[in-house]
Amino acid sequence: MRFEPPARRRLYLMRHASVSYFGPLGERPDPERVALTDEGLVQADAAGALFASQRVRFDRVLTSGLPRTVQTAERVLARCDQQVEIERDARLRELRSGSPEAIAPDRLRDAFLAPFEGVVAESTRYLGGESVGEMLDRVLPALDDAIADRSWQTMLMVLHGGVNRVILSRALTGTRTLLAGFQQAPACINAIDVAERPRDWVLRYANLTPYDLLLADARQTTMERLIMQYLAGVEARAR
């Protein structure tokens, strides 16, 4: 009797490095145009250096097309000394938010955080914007298309915190769902070995942060820091 393990390929899934979504007075730049901060550049370089140290070679690089994902991918490839076309698929953009200014103060906490907590209902909306179900409708077909492409053995995807959670949820459950408890730090790396059948997928590790391996001092989530940044700006503006 012989056992043939499933044929698997490696998907490295990153979140983009740090950006600033709110100004010092709570003003909000266009979220589709924000670029990496100086800290973000260092984070992306650290991820690239780790890939280079392990001699990882990418056959395909896929981003959402938003500047923060493209810029992160560029920095990673530069540190790896690799010239790979950076592809863009708008279906992989982040869960689109509404305006925090339109949310009543007593609902602001849930409006910010509900899409990133627990098992999320598809009707949940981010700050009154796009629903989780609408995000699943576009992200999962884009993921399926990327997996169906047999031309690659190792792929880098540089995406977003919410989108990454959808992909990680698929890796764990094989189903259409959003398990939001995965923390996705800026420029973190997740490794998923994908196979023909979703039940044969293997999540090797999640939220590896090359610039802070143990995250020893981290206690707040990315979204908790974001809402605090926004509220601090509102308070400063009121003064």
Q: Over 80: is that where the pLDDT of 26 sits?
A: no
Task: Determine the pLDDT at residue 10.
Answer: 98
pLDDT interval class at 185 (50, 70, 90): very high
Residue 171 and residue 102 in contact, taking contact as beta carbons nearer than 8 Å: no
Average pLDDT over residues 183-205: 96
Task: Determine the pLDDT at residue 139.
Answer: 98
Task: Determine the pLDDT at residue 149.
Answer: 98
Task: Determine the pLDDT at residue 235.
Answer: 81
pLDDT interval class at 22 (50, 70, 90): confident
pLDDT interval class at 56 (50, 70, 90): very high
Distance, in Å, from the CA atom of 58 to the CA atom of 5, rounded to the nearest integer, reads 23
Residue 164 and residue 13 in contact, taking contact as beta carbons nearer than 8 Å: yes
Average pLDDT over residues 17-43: 89
pLDDT tens digits for 143-155?
999 999 999 999 9
Angle 64-12-192 from CA coordinates, rounded to 5°:
115
Please report the domains of the chain, with CATH numbers, ordered by start residue.
Answer: 9-234 (3.40.50.1240)
Task: Determine the pLDDT at residue 213.
Answer: 96
pLDDT tens digits for 169-178?
999 999 999 9
Task: Determine the pLDDT at residue 31.
Answer: 84
**Secondary structure letter of residue 124 according to DSSP:** -
Where b means 16+ CB within 10 Å and e means fewer, 185-198 reads bbbbbbebbbeeee
Average pLDDT over residues 79-83: 97
Q: Over 90: is that where the pLDDT of 221 sits?
A: yes
Q: Over 90: is that where the pLDDT of 85 sits?
A: yes
Q: Over 90: is that where the pLDDT of 11 sits?
A: yes
Answer yes or no: pTM beyond 0.85: yes
Task: Determine the pLDDT at residue 32.
Answer: 87
Task: Determine the pLDDT at residue 224.
Answer: 92
Phi-psi region of 221 (alpha: psi -120 to 50; beta: other; left: phi over 0): beta
Angle 17-53-5 from CA coordinates, rounded to 5°:
95
